[in-house]
Amino acid sequence: MAEEAGALHAPDGFFKRAGRMTGEPARLPLRRSDRIEAALHRIAAALDRLAPAPVTEADPQTARAMRWDGQHLLAVPPAPTVPLARFVGVEAQIAALRRNLASLAAGGPAHDMLLWGARGMGKSALVRSLAANIGIALVETPASALATLPALFARLAPARGPFLVFVDDIAFDGLDERARALRSLLDGGVAARPPHVRLAVTSNHRHLARREAAEAARHARDAEDDALALTDRFGLVLGFHAASQEQYLAMCRGYLAAEGLALDEVDALAFALARGGRSGRTAWHYRTEVLTRRAAASSNS
Q: Compute the distance between CA of residue 263 and CA of residue 261 in angstroms, rounded to an integer.
A: 7
- The residue ranges of every structural domain in the chain are 65-240, 245-300
- CA 91 to chain centroid, in Å, comes to 26
pLDDT for position 35: 78
For 199-223, the three-class secondary structure string (H helix, E strand, C coil) is: EEEEECCCCCEECCHHHHHHCHHHH
Q: Kind of pairing, strands 172-173 and 113-117?
A: unpaired
- The string of pLDDT tens digits covering residues 113-143 is 999 998 889 999 999 999 999 999 999 999 8
Share of the chain above pLDDT 90, in %: 52
pLDDT for position 106: 96
pLDDT for position 240: 93
Identify the CA nearest to 89 among candidates 272, 251, 270, 264. 251
pLDDT band at 7 (very low <50, low <70, confident <90, very high): very low
Long-range contacts, 291-294 (Cβ 8 Å, 24+): 291/259, 294/261
Q: Kind of pairing, strands 236-240 and 113-117?
A: parallel
Question: What does DSSP assign to residue 143?
Answer: G
Radius of gyration of the chain from its Cα atoms, rounded to whole angstroms: 30
State mean pLDDT over 195-216. 73
- Alpha-carbon separation of residue 2 from 6, 12, 14, 31, 266 (angstroms): 6, 19, 20, 11, 92
Interior angle at CA 41, CA 38 and CA 45, nearest 5: 145
Q: What topology does CATH give the domain 65-240?
A: Rossmann fold (3.40.50)
Bond before 162 cis per omega within 30 degrees: yes
pLDDT for position 5: 43
Q: Does the pLDDT of residue 227 top 70, yes or no?
A: no
Q: Amino acid identity, residue 83?
A: P
pLDDT for position 268: 97
Give the alpha-carbon dihedral of 192, 195, 197, 203, to 10 degrees.
70
Q: Compute the distance between CA of residue 51 and CA of residue 255 in angstroms, rounded to an integer.
A: 47
